[in-house]
Amino acid sequence: MSLVNFTINGISMQAEPGATILECAKSAGIHIPTLCHLNLHDTKMVNQVGTCRVCMVEVEGRRNLAPACNTAVAEGMAVRTDSVKAIKARRKVVELLLSNHPKDCLVCARNQNCELQSLAAELSIRRVRYDGKRNNFPWDTSSYSLVRDPNKCVLCRRCETMCNKVQSVGVYSAVNRGFETVIGTAFDEPMLDTVCTFCGQCVSVCPTGALTQVDNTWAVWDAINNPDKFVIVQTAPAVRAALGEEFGMPVGSLVTGKMASALRLLGFDKVYDTDFAADLTIMEEAHEFIERVKNGGTLPILTSCCPAWVKFIEHQFPELLDIPSTCKSPHEMFGAVAKTHLAGKLGVDPANMVVVSVMPCLAKKYEASRPELALESSPYVDYVITTRELGAMIREAGVRFASLPDGEFDSAMGESTGASVIFGATGGVIEAALRTAYAWLTGEKPADVEFTALRGIKGIKEATYNIAGTDFKIAVASGLGNARELLERVRDNPDEYHAIEIMACPGGCVSGGGQPYHGNDPETYAKRAEAIYSEDRAKALRYSHENPEVIALYEEFLGEPGSHRAHELLHTEYTKRTV
């Protein structure tokens, strides 16, 4: 295939046919401002609708400016990204966007992290010359996970692209026409009454404050400062690999110890690690898998740690609800054990115990509200805050995070193994399960503890492992669009796989909807995942079934994996959903 010859700002360049001006400029280090454009992991230039008109450039011989994001380079094309005409056009477009935008930047959740705000600064816009009719749409605060403020929507359609093309959920679409156009739900249904999985990926890609998380920080502050409440906190594996970014630390900084210290300074009565419950999850999930294999149970078994993925199968594939593991997610297992066994050990009335989960995920907020995950109508997990919310609380308290010494988690439910921490990366849950399943089936540890074929940020991964003379075919999917592809294979050929891990977010929990905004950069996912794997390698114990605190929990309270009490506290059920 012959290359196309062209110039950008007088620089001679070559590219394959079909490459866009924006792609080529970026590869040459030439900056073109964008807003609606979105380049996602595993998807090349996925959002090229060109609706915002911010990336306009001048093409020699053309009367009108061209959007760089969806204009292909052509033989002999001469492009100017820095002409007066192009710069004026960009400024005018941004001014028009600002003219119909709320002027509440100081109290907006995206203040200082808003792409529209950054564009205005980049283009030196100090006043808006246009003043006219403004939208006045109602907010949608129906869900436990996210808030929609359509008045801040710039119609970039990133959320629509993410929801429809990448996640294949199909909640968002453009409705109405002209000035009344808004990105919304079918028939203007509240988010809680849609098939939304609350994965939060729409929040991750929204460039403004049109989509934000439900803020639980004040409820947590109130609990901490209530002398009648005993407030404990648990932190998910992926949080430690991203929290440092909230304080200017490099991507991939592992801040486990600093995080524990910060949580104590905030006033939590006890600080625990969700990794303990991840090890507990593996005890139950590996036992369930082996039981199915030995007794002719339904295969493949599907992991059930991700609440967004669980809600997805409940809506989209109800005929397959008999195959996911019945295990609760780790933080819900933790809450169940905390308000039963731990409360008794600490001498705390469960009614006065408040369990707070720090998660990389918005769907965990929704999950904590599910009625089946409660103790006599009181939720096992009272509040879920995200990595971003924890960062905000630490800043509010005036804690100098980067200079904190490394602290430790509390004992009894704070010990963890390397197998648990890798839950935060795509492929990590099934790898952890395989480590223990291999040991239990063969009576010995695998030659290599790391099942590396299951790692990496590719959307779908497959591997086959021989364990005790049987070939087990494993699949991993991250991103709900990839999950749909795998589930369709299972529906058509149930015998193709033995076990499947699914995470709703592309790249896994490290790129969850509650993590620091990351620009959908695959390198960010990879660096966060590597931080998690480095903690795994540094652990003295790397198999969940070797966790001494988990072993003690079974001896003192649960009995054995799969016991009646274990099922009562650590397992759940799924429901076919229409909304």
Q: Would residue 163 show up in a list of annotated catalytic residues for this protein? A: no
Set 204, 253, 325, 478: catalytic member: 325
Set 23, 58, 284, 288: catalytic member: 288
DSSP 139: P
Q: Would residue 305 show up in a list of annotated catalytic residues for this protein? A: yes
DSSP state string for 386-425:
EHHHHHHHHHHTT--GGGPPP----SSS----HHHHGGGS
Instruction: Determine if the peptide bond prior to 446 is cis (ω within 30°).
Output: no
Set 16, 75, 372, 488: catalytic member: 372
**CA of 345: how far to CAs of 106, 281, 352, 411, in Å?**
46, 21, 14, 12
10: left (phi over 0), alpha (psi -120 to 50) or beta: left
- Taking the C-alpha atoms of residue 142 and residue 500, their distance in angstroms, rounded to an integer, is 32
- Taking the C-alpha atoms of residue 453 and residue 460, their distance in angstroms, rounded to an integer, is 11
Tokens at 259, concatenated: 């995080």
140 Cβ contact list (under 8 Å, min separation 6): 147, 148, 150, 190, 191
Q: Would residue 509 show up in a list of annotated catalytic residues for this protein? A: yes
Q: Would residue 367 show up in a list of annotated catalytic residues for this protein? A: yes
Q: What residue ranges in 390-543 does DSSP mark as E strands?
A: 460-467, 470-478, 499-503
- Taking the C-alpha atoms of residue 238 and residue 423, their distance in angstroms, rounded to an integer, is 8
Helix axis angle, 256-266 relative to 387-396, nearest 10°? 60
- Please give the single-letter amino acid code of residue 54: V
Identify which of 54, 67, 30, 26 has the alpha carbon closest to the alpha carbon of residue 521. 26
Set 24, 36, 361, 509: catalytic member: 509
Q: How many CA atoms lie within 13 A of 151 on its CB side?
A: 15
Report how many helices (DSSP H) and strands (DSSP E) the chain contains, helices first: 19, 21
Q: What residue ranges in 78-122 does DSSP mark as E strands?
A: 78-80
**CA of 228: how far to CAs of 151, 340, 347, 385, 425, in Å?**
41, 18, 14, 21, 38
Set 367, 415, 431, 535: catalytic member: 367
- Taking the C-alpha atoms of residue 337 and residue 566, their distance in angstroms, rounded to an integer, is 10
546 Cβ contact list (under 8 Å, min separation 6): 417
Tokens at 231, concatenated: 């407030």
Set 24, 55, 202, 305: catalytic member: 305
Tokens at 190, concatenated: 């509240």
Greatest Cα-to-Cα distance within the chain, rounded to the nearest angstrom: 80
Q: Please name the residue that has the structure tokens 């103790």.
A: 375
Q: Please name the residue that has the structure tokens 């203007």.
A: 188
Set 258, 270, 328, 364: catalytic member: 364
Q: Would residue 325 show up in a list of annotated catalytic residues for this protein? A: yes
**CA of 422: how far to CAs of 122, 409, 432, 461, 494, in Å?**
39, 18, 7, 16, 28
- Taking the C-alpha atoms of residue 500 and residue 386, their distance in angstroms, rounded to an integer, is 26
Q: Would residue 16 show up in a list of annotated catalytic residues for this protein? A: no
- Taking the C-alpha atoms of residue 212 and residue 150, their distance in angstroms, rounded to an integer, is 11
Catalytic positions, written as ranges: 285, 288, 305, 325, 364, 367, 372, 509
